[in-house]
């Protein structure tokens, strides 16, 4: 499991292990602690950039330009307010060394984005130009970063708000219909492919697939024809919902498959799926249809494997179709053997 999916306590352990690899860090932390500054923290770049270096296999100090130390007069501005306002959620991170060598970590937006290498804008004080300039430099050093567009998504957990109310309302107003439309589109694509396949299967024979299925000599484990439309209708919802979850998820780190790869396998499965009915019922090429079913099972298995690296729920929603297509392949082979 990637560190971005672990509990916060486990992520803290992973953070310490990653930062311990940066030798300059140890020296800077010790020196800062000796200064006895009020409410001090080492912040921002050297923290998350060290983690990215460890994830991508680069030297721990690669690309780190400086080590920022902040401390504040309590009558002026709290360190929480300052760190909360950095240009990206990954930058809103501070570490200091306390007595007995204990580390104190301040991460108002959590650590998942740091480990997932997702750059999420935090427009409390920073401007779009600052955000885009910095993220462009970061992507040059760490190409696997996923940079979210300025003010597209509200900031994740932690503080009451990190996006102005107007922007958050705008995102909710525009984002929800877009996401709902994407889900409807995924269901529609799946259903259209299914409908076209069924139409092609009955067009040549002049009758539906169920009467044709009933004329085949079938094995004892073959279900009645009425089961198939119910099963595929349910799979339409689960598999389309799986693809929708992948579509809306941010890309993971470079060590994992990206969502575009998973969606490409889902699209391939939709195309493969539409070939079975014409082969089995229109052309009566039962072994070719069996091969199509086996290929569909393989494509869905690959999709589920990739989906697991992007979104666990999406992977689980793909499992019913993997199981059903495995069963359908066995059934198709048995029917083909009995109906030469």
Q: Is 3.40.50.300 the CATH number for 169-338?
A: no
List the structure tokens of 335: 């029917």
Arithmetic mean of pLDDT, 98-105: 80
CB 26 within 8 A of CB 12: no
The rounded percent of the chain whose pLDDT value lies above 70 is 75
Rounded to the nearest angstrom, the gap between the alpha carbon of residue 279 and the centroid of all alpha carbons in its chain is: 35
What was the pLDDT predicted at 149?
A: 77
Residue 292: pLDDT over 80: yes
CB 252 within 8 A of CB 114: no
CB-based burial label for 100 (10 Å; 0-12, 13-18, 19+): exposed
Distant-in-sequence, close-in-space partners of 157: CB < 8 Å, separation ≥ 6? 109, 110
Residue 327: pLDDT over 90: yes
Which is more confidently placed, 81 or 277? 277
What was the pLDDT predicted at 323?
A: 94
Residue recorded with tokens 């560190």: 3
CB 215 within 8 A of CB 281: no
Per residue, the 3-state secondary structure of 45-98, as one string, reads HHHHHHHHHHHHCCCCCCCCCCCEEECCCCCCCCHHHHHHCCCEHHHCCEEEEC
What was the pLDDT predicted at 120?
A: 86
Nearest-10 Cα torsion for 277, 282, 286, 287: -80
Alpha-carbon distance of 151 to 163, in angstroms, equals 8
The most confident of 98-102, 217-221, 229-233, 254-258, by mean pLDDT: 217-221
What backbone torsions phi and psi does residue 69 show, to the nearest 5 degrees? -120, 130
Alpha-carbon distance of 151 to 148, in angstroms, equals 8
User: Could you tell me the maximum CA-CA distance found in the chain, to the nearest angstrom?
Assistant: 88
Q: Tens of pLDDT along 15-73?
A: 888 888 888 877 888 888 888 777 788 787 878 888 888 888 888 888 777 777 777 66
| pLDDT band with cut points at 50, 70 and 90 for residue 299 | very high
| pLDDT band with cut points at 50, 70 and 90 for residue 294 | very high
- Closest to 234 in 3D by CA, of 195, 286, 187, 298: 187
What was the pLDDT predicted at 226?
A: 85
CB 303 within 8 A of CB 267: no
Residue recorded with tokens 């579509």: 247
What was the pLDDT predicted at 130?
A: 82
Q: pTM for this structure?
A: 0.50
Rounded to the nearest angstrom, the gap between the alpha carbon of residue 145 and the centroid of all alpha carbons in its chain is: 13
Alpha-carbon distance of 314 to 304, in angstroms, equals 8
Which is more confidently placed, 188 or 108? 108
The rounded percent of the chain whose pLDDT value lies above 90 is 11
Rounded to 5°, the CA angle 201-188-289 comes to: 30
Helices (H) and strands (E) in the chain, counts: 13, 6
Residues of the chain with CATH 1.20.1260.100: 169-338
Alpha-carbon distance of 333 to 86, in angstroms, equals 60
- Closest to 122 in 3D by CA, of 77, 92, 79, 157: 92
Q: Which of 22-31, 101-110, 163-172, 297-306 has the lowest mean pLDDT?
A: 163-172
CB 240 within 8 A of CB 103: no
Arithmetic mean of pLDDT, 157-183: 44
């Amino acid at each position: 499991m990637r560190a971005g999916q672990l509990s916060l306590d486990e992520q803290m352990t992973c953070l310490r292990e990653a930062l311990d690899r940066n030798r300059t860090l140890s020296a800077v932390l010790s020196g800062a602690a000796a200064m006895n500054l009020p409410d001090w923290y080492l912040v921002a770049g050297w923290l998350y950039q060290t983690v990215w270096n460890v994830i991508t296999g680069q030297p721990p100090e690669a690309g780190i330009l400086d080590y920022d130390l902040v401390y504040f007069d309590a009558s002026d501005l709290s360190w929480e307010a300052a760190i909360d306002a950095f240009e990206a959620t990954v930058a809103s991170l501070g570490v200091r060394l306390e007595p007995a060598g204990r580390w104190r970590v301040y991460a108002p937006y959590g650590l998942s984005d740091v480990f997932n290498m997702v750059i999420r804008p935090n427009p409390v004080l920073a401007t779009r130009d600052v955000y885009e300039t910095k993220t462009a430099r970061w992507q040059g050093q760490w190409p696997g970063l996923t940079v979210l567009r300025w003010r597209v998504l509200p900031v994740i957990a932690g503080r009451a708000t990190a996006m102005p109310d107007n922007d958050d309302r705008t995102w909710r107003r525009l984002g929800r219909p877009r996401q709902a439309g994407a889900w409807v589109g995924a269901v529609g694509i799946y259903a259209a492919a299914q409908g076209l396949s069924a139409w092609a299967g009955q067009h040549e024979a002049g009758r539906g697939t169920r009467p044709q299925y009933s004329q085949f000599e079938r094995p004892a484990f073959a279900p009645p024809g009425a089961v198939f439309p119910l099963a595929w209708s349910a799979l339409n919802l689960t598999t389309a919902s799986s693809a929708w979850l992948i579509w809306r998820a941010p890309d993971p780190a470079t060590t994992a498959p990206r969502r575009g790869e998973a969606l490409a396998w889902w699209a391939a499965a939709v195309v493969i799926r539409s070939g079975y009915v014409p082969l089995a019922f229109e052309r009566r090429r039962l072994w070719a249809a069996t091969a199509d079913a086996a290929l569909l099972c393989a494509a869905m298995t690959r999709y589920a494997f990739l989906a697991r690296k992007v979104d666990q729920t999406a992977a689980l929603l793909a499992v019913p179709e993997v199981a059903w297509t495995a069963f359908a392949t066995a059934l198709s082979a048995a029917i083909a053997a009995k109906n030469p």
